[in-house]
Amino acid sequence: MCGWGECNICEKKVKLDKHQCYIQRIPEEEDDPKTKRVPRDQVGTRPFTEPDPGDTDTRVYVERDPPLQGYCDYDAITDTEGNQTPILLCLEDDESEHTYFFYGPNCTADMFEHLESLAVDEDGDDRNIIVIFDNLKGYDGMFILNLNLNLNMVLSAKSWDDITPT
C-alpha cells in the first residue's frame, strides 16, 4: 500500500507519514560491553573486578564511561540576501557545571574541536558523545551540514530522519 513502510527504529510496518516512533533500547546482545580491561596500576580510584583465577590476562575489569551528553544552541545573523551565518554556539554537558561559548563564523568548527577533546576517556579509549541541538532539523542542522560538506566529514547518524528535534 502507498505510504506504508518499515520504520528504521522499531522495524514495524507502519504508515510512514503518521508514525511517531520513540527511541528504542538496543537489544543487550547488540549493545557495547559495559566493562573493559585495564592494567591494575591504571585503575586509580575506580571500582574494579578481578579476572577469573585461571585467566592469564592480569588486567582487571572497570566500568566504561557512559556516553557524554551535550546540549547545544546557535545564534546567527542574517545578511541582506537572507543568508544566515552562525556567530555564537553554546554547549553544556552533563558532567560539568560549565557552559562553553564559541564565537564567530568558525564557531561550529571550534565546537567540534572541543568535542574531539572530550571524546577520549581517562584510559585514552574512544568515548561516545551524544549532542542534542535545539533545532537540528532546521536552523542548527544547516550549520553542521555545511561544515560537514566543507570538511568532507562523515555523519554518524543513519539519516537526518533518525534525528528527532527537541
| Coil/strand/helix, residue 51 | coil
H-helix or E-strand spanning residue 85: strand 84-93
- Residue 153 has a pLDDT of 52
pLDDT tens track for 72-94: 988 888 889 988 888 999 999 98
Question: pLDDT value at position 156?
Answer: 52
The CA dihedral of 100, 106, 112, 115, to the nearest 10 degrees, is: -20
- The model's confidence at residue 37, banded by pLDDT at 50, 70 and 90, is very high
**pLDDT score recorded for residue 71:** 92
Give the least confident one: 47-56, 61-70, 148-157: 148-157
Indicate the pTM of the whole model: 0.65
DSSP character string of 51-119: PPTT-S--PEEEEPPPPEEEEEEEEEEE-TTS-EEEEEEEEEETT-SPEEEEESTTHHHHHHHHHHHHS
Quick one: pLDDT band at residue 58, thresholds 50, 70, 90?
A: confident
Per-residue pLDDT of 101-116, as tens digits, reads 999 988 888 998 998 8
